[in-house]
Structure 1
Amino acid sequence: MPVVGTPSLDQLQVLIAVVREGSFAAAGRRLHRATSAISYSISSLETQLGLELFDRTNARRPKLTSAGETVLAKARSVSSGVSDIKARVASIRQGLEAEISMVVDVMFPTQRLVDAVRAFEEKFPTVTLHLNLEALGAVSQLVQRGVARLGIGGIHHSDTTGFEVVSVGQVEMIPVATPTHALAGVDSNVVGAAKRHRQLVLRVREAFQPGPDVAVYAADTWSMSDLGAKHALLLAGLGWGYMPEPAVRQDIVDGRLVRLKVPESLGGFYLFQAMYRPDTPPGPAGAWLIQTLVEHA
């Protein structure tokens, strides 16, 4: 029986990249290598193992064979183990972080963020916190790109494949408009009425990959990535839309906005999770910040 060769960590990481990106060319772009180098690495791995890992019938999108599926699972396990070793060694060597870059979904309740950040700076005055606010799926994308080490984003708008995640609470989303809006009057609780009135929708900026639309019913929509702008347009009576309840609580109390009865969806909960890449986990200060968010969830 032929001796099975020992694959290198680099070959396994190339295999993972090809599957994740969907093609040899895309994997090359991700790893900053030529497509031919990716192809050679996979061919060498197949030769060492004595197995065909990909069905190359469709050259543009190679598909894993059943053997390839098995090897991929083990490759991911090995890669994860190595990342964990590196992360733990880095934590031991570095101790307390010099700085933390964090990106937070604009849906996250402002007061909760303020309280957590204030407590963090009191606890760790020597750690510089870089804070960025983004909408929806932009949070996980910035963490994936390494721009932010820690992300606080919504579960349904985040691609956390390969991430470590921790639940940090939720916020209620409710449909609102001005008291004079038709959906607050004659069209209140009428099935299909929401489709006939302009809906204000939060979406990611063009620099990011758009995610799925959730609770969008109207044919006429205005899109924006700024929750503050959406709030202002709602107050101006220029449409209706879903908002985090804490952001409009006082407006409802003061009568500037009303909670709508939209049969398609009366609202729901937007679930948050802290996320980070396993190869760059938070150190003591970052871990403390996550735990603080968990305790106040």
Structure 2
Amino acid sequence: MDRQEAMAVFLAVVEEGDFSAAARRLHMTPSAVSKIIGRLEARLGVRLLQRSTRSISLTSEGSAYAESARRILGDIEDAEFAIQPGAEPRGRLRVSLPSAFGHRLIVPMLPDFIERYPEIDLELDFSDAIVDLMNGDADVAIRVAAQSDSTLVTRRLASNRRVICAAPGYLERHGVPKTPDELQRHVCLAITAHGRLNVWEFHDGSSRHAIRVRGSVEANSTEALRRLALAGIGIVRLSEILVGDDIRAGLLVPLLTDCNHAEAEPITVVYPHRRFLPPRVRVFVDFLAEQFSRRPWQEARFHGGSAEIGLLPESPPIL
């Protein structure tokens, strides 16, 4: 048995969690599977699996080998599939998405993708952490951050405007800030451990200046900050894509629109440089570009200046 086949047997054992189940899947005997794993460990000079009478588990070396083997076998499959004319994209596609953007913007797009490509199995990972694509943590990632990794291919999907806003109830109780400096006496909702996002930029004619906000309430989730703002806890600065509907509905009021420097890092999709790009990655990236070209969040973009106390809409109940 060659190395490729040995890797496939090893992965079957890892995925099934049992020699007998792996043997059934591979149409082999359990003893044959056990011998292959034993020869593989002997050749590598390390133990890949910890065996007991009731279960097996990966050693640290086995975990690293499984990740590499999965990537190598995937590359072989993708290379062979890529040259087959008319073949439909298939296989598991692991997508990393920022939590708030993923739920509010990407998930509503996915039913069309699933219907269009039924042979692709989606695995969605919602996290604001930056995953290591080169290490195989995901196949493709959607990011709202500056991209400086030259090992990744970056495709811009849309610009990203940030809006300073607060609930009518908060402004009724604390007043409307007229200048950026007045933010210092307000409750500003901050992003935990993301100092750059807590620096709010403003422009005054041709010059720009920044204010670092420090609030009594912080969260590591932009969706949590949005909900706190809706509840009237404080002032927040978030993407228009996240709060635009709330502003149009009167649940949030835009502030300092005449001087807020709204442009932020664009929304991008990134994936590793690869000689053979898996078709499932290619069609997913193309699908996102198609969906973002419609810019549904801009269909009713709000316009207007800073809020005035007398013009604040009635505060709706927050359930």
Q: TM-score, normalised by structure 1?
A: 0.58
Partner SS, residue 294 of structure 1: helix
Cα separation, 1, equivalents of 2:123 and 2:199: 32
Q: Is the 2:189–2:216 Cα contact (8 Å) retained in structure 1?
A: yes
The answer to whether 1:163 aligns with 2:141 is no
Partner SS, residue 265 of structure 1: coil
Q: Is the 2:199–2:213 Cα contact (8 Å) retained in structure 1?
A: no
The answer to whether 1:244 aligns with 2:234 is no
Gaps of 5+ in 1: 1-85, 205-209
Q: What are the superposed Cα offsets for residues 56-107 of structure 1, whole Å, 9 maximum, x if unpaired?
A: xxxxxxxxxxxxxxxxxxxxxxxxxxxxxx9986532244441011011235
The answer to whether 1:91 aligns with 2:84 is no
**Which of residues 84, 99, 106 is equivalent to 1:113?**
106
**Which of residues 167, 172, 186 is equivalent to 1:178?**
167
Residue 215 of structure 1, CA deviation: 3.3
Give the AA of the match of 2:109. A
Q: Structure 1 residues 268 and 218 mapped into 2: Cα distance closer, same or farther (>3 Å)?
A: same
Q: Structure 1 residues 145 and 240 mapped into 2: Cα distance closer, same or farther (>3 Å)?
A: farther
Partner SS, residue 213 of structure 2: coil
Cα separation, 2, equivalents of 1:118 and 1:292: 12
Cα separation, 2, equivalents of 1:222 and 1:201: 7
Identity %: 17
Give the root-mean-square deviation of aligned CA atoms. 3.2
Give the AA of the match of 1:218. V
Q: Structure 1 residues 187 and 211 mapped into 2: Cα distance closer, same or farther (>3 Å)?
A: closer
**Count of residues paired in the alignment:** 203
Residue 192 of structure 1, CA deviation: 0.7
Q: Is the 2:145–2:266 Cα contact (8 Å) retained in structure 1?
A: yes
Q: TM-score, normalised by structure 2?
A: 0.54
Give the AA of the match of 1:197. H
Give the AA of the match of 1:164. V
Partner SS, residue 164 of structure 1: strand
Gaps of 5+ in 2: 1-72, 83-88, 201-211, 293-319
The answer to whether 1:151 aligns with 2:141 is yes
Q: Is the 1:97–1:283 Cα contact (8 Å) retained in structure 2?
A: no
- Structure of greater Rg: 2
Residue 26 (structure 1) aligns with: none
Cα separation, 2, equivalents of 1:103 and 1:189: 39
Cα separation, 1, equivalents of 2:161 and 2:197: 17
Partner SS, residue 143 of structure 1: coil
Residue 122 (structure 2) aligns with: 129
The answer to whether 1:215 aligns with 2:223 is no
Q: Is the 1:98–1:127 Cα contact (8 Å) retained in structure 2?
A: yes
